[in-house]
Structure 1
Amino acid sequence: MKTLSVSIQKEAISTLRQGGVIIYPTETAYGLGADAKNLHAVEKIFVLKGRATKKTFPLIVADLKMAQQYAEIPTLLLQIAHRYWPGPLTIVAPVKKKTGLAESVIQKDGTVALRVSSCGIARTLSYAIQAPLIATSANYSGDAPSYSVRAVKNSLKRSPLQPEMFLDVGALTKRCPSTIISEKEGKIVLLRRGTISIPKIYVA
């Protein structure tokens, strides 16, 4: 993965603060990013992806402290987070009250999906804007995840909107998506298989 200049990173941060949408790298694939507290920006991502608004987006946060500002993370999930974050593990937990998050990122059951990415660029962006980043794959709905900016642009050709900025760090290694888990009655619930295997989660 190529590094980004300080000026490019500053431009990306400014774009996010102004309600723009960016393409940025994560540890799994390129993602579509926006300030998760900016409703207009989040709505643009729904249009960009051609995705039904009844589906919510997962979020990337700067660190565990930020995750706890937005969600009530049960003790068991906290233990797992301490072990696997930063990394490709998404935790679904009840959202806290008055977080300022756009309603469209909160699921009907009052939960939100969060992860601390092992990609430093993603964490830096979230920290800089002091808000979670939308972390949906950078592709039109129904297409495969994109591992290069060229693939992103090709997938989004049919979209009526385009991102304001592309953070191109070169081709990413193809990986499985993040593992998604939640907690119910003191037990781990596997919602999606991913990079982190099931046995590792259960022994955490």
Structure 2
Amino acid sequence: MHQEIKNTIEVLKQGGIILYPTDTVWGIGCDATNPEAVKKIYDLKERIDSKALICLVADDRMLTKYVKQVPPAALNIIEVTGKPTTIIYDDAQNLAENLIADDGSIAIRIPDDEFCYQLSRKLNGAIVSTSANISGQPTPSSYKEIAPAILKGVDYVVNLHHEKICEKPSSIIKLSNSGVVKIIRK
């Protein structure tokens, strides 16, 4: 795994996009602070850039680097949910402008996955994580189901867990600074 992390970090630092196994589904990712790399992902997915993407961070300390004010309830939600949960936070900061939603929010998940944790930690930053499909197409549940256009369109395919079957994407919760919680995807 160490060599894969090293190879992947090199690609991310050069502005490349990767195909990698996450704690949920196979994802397309890049350095979340690089607007050109983020644009490459929107182009590859044929997705309009007003539809925001998810980011992964290593831990709650890193979360505070990208969210001006992390509501106290966020850490409780992360702790008690028994499944991968992405939280949409108000007031994103220090990320590529084209990654932040029009209302200033950002969707971030702290994955319970060693590879994703190490990748974010070694990059010392957030990594984009969006499902490895063309917008509007079904999310592939395994590496074998990923479309050839996606495989050819990334700069690097992480050589881990090609046999992994992913049941479904994360839950998504919007947590406003005022404390309002809204479930977006169960």
Q: TM-score, normalised by structure 2?
A: 0.89
Contact 2:142 2:163 in 1 (8 A): yes
2:34 aligns with 38
Given that 2:28 and 2:128 are in contact with CA atoms closer than 8 Å, whether structure 1 keeps it comes out as: yes
What whole-Å deviation, never above 9, does each CA across 1:70-106 have from its counterpart, x for those lacking one?
A: 1122122222123348x51011112344x1x111111
8 Å contact 1:25–1:119 — kept in the other structure?
no
| TM-score, normalising length: structure 1 | 0.82
- Which residue of the partner structure matches residue 149 of structure 1? 143
1:179 to 171, 174, 177: 171
Share of identical aligned residues, percent?
Answer: 32
Q: Could you say which residue in structure 2 is the equivalent of 1:10?
A: 6
After TM superposition, the runs of 4+ consecutive aligned structure 1 residues lying more than 6 A away are none
Inter-CA distance 57–96: structure 2 relative to 1 (3 Å threshold): closer
| 1:24 and 1:166 in contact (8 A); partners too | yes
Per-residue CA shift, 1:22-72, capped at 9, x if unaligned? 101012110001001011111100111111111110100011111122112
Structure 2 counterpart of 1:125? 119
Structure showing greater Rg: 1
Report the alpha carbon displacement of residue 140 of structure 1 after superposing the two structures with TM.
1.1
Distance (whole Å) between structure 2 residues aligned to residue 48 and residue 133 of structure 1: 17
Q: Distance in 1 between matches of 2:179 and 2:36?
A: 37
Question: Contact 1:50–1:140 (CA<8 Å) still a contact in 2?
Answer: yes
1:134 matched residue in structure 2: 128
Cα pair 2:56 2:109 within 8 Å, conserved: yes
Q: What CA distance in whole angstroms lies between the structure 1 residues aligned with 2:60 and 2:165?
A: 26
Number of residue pairs matched by the alignment = 183
Matches within 5 A, 1:165-176: 165-168=156-159, 169-176=161-168
How many angstroms apart in 2 are the aligned matches of 1:54 and 1:153? 23
Map 1:28-107 → 2, pairs under 5 A: 28-71=24-67, 72-84=69-81, 88-97=84-93, 99=94, 101-107=95-101
RMSD over equivalenced CA pairs, Å? 1.9
Q: What's the CA shift for 1:119?
A: 1.7
Provide closer, same or farther for how the CA distance between residues 96 and 170 of structure 1 changes in structure 2, counting only shifts above 3 A: closer
User: Which ranges in structure 2 are unaligned for 5 or more consecutive residues?
Assistant: none
- Work out whether 1:115 is the aligned partner of 2:112: no
Whether the 8 Å CA contact 2:90–2:175 is kept in 1: the answer is no
- Structure 2 SS opposite 1:135: strand
Deviations 1:141-187 (A, max 9, x none): 11111233332243637xxx611111131222232211111235434
CA distance in 1, matches of 2:59, 2:74: 15
Mapped to 2, the partners of 1:18 and 1:57 lie a distance apart of 20
Query: Is 1:163 matched with 2:154?
Result: yes
Distance 2:61 2:81 in 1: 15
